[in-house]
Amino acid sequence: MSTRSSEYTLGERICKARDASGLSTAQLARRLGIKTATMQSWESDRSEPRSNKLVLLAGVLNVSPTWLLVGRGTPPFAEEHDAADLDSMKVALDRVQRQAQALADEIATLQERISGS
């Protein structure tokens, strides 16, 4: 059973929306004109953004302020992946694993060449 957006805390929704946008905590903080530590406090529920920053945050993350506050509305991420999404992720993962293995092989070859010198 999947967790609904309204069951997450504000900090968890901020973090999930940030992840969905592909931004790091530091990148998001920079866009909002705040310190990274402030962003981390919001994401860990140690503090909450003021209303003006919440509206700005929602805009940057492409979600509604209502979704950030209470989890009502359209989330920025799919709660569950369909079979086609999973298949495409498996294909991408296989490709990346092959690339990683090729790089590991190349590194080993170069290390052998260096140590044989």
> How is 78-115 classified by DSSP, letter by letter?
-SS--HHHHHHHHHHHHHHHHHHHHHHHHHHHHHHHHH
Residues 36, 57: one domain? yes
pLDDT on residue 5: 66
Q: Lowest-confidence range among 46-50, 90-94, 110-114?
A: 90-94
Per the structure, the complete domain to which residue 39 belongs is given by 5-70
Burial of 20 (0-12, 13-18, 19+ CB in 10 A): middle
Residues 85, 116: one domain? yes
Grade residue 77 by pLDDT with cuts at 50, 70 and 90. Answer: low
Give pLDDT tens digits for 6-56: 688 999 999 999 998 889 999 999 999 999 999 999 999 999 999 999 999
Q: What percent of the chain has pLDDT over 90?
A: 68
Rounded Cα–Cα distance for residues 98 and 100 (Å): 5
Domain membership of residue 24 (yes or no) is yes
Rounded Cα–Cα distance for residues 3 and 80 (Å): 10
pLDDT on residue 1: 37
Work out how many domains the chain is built from and give that number. 2
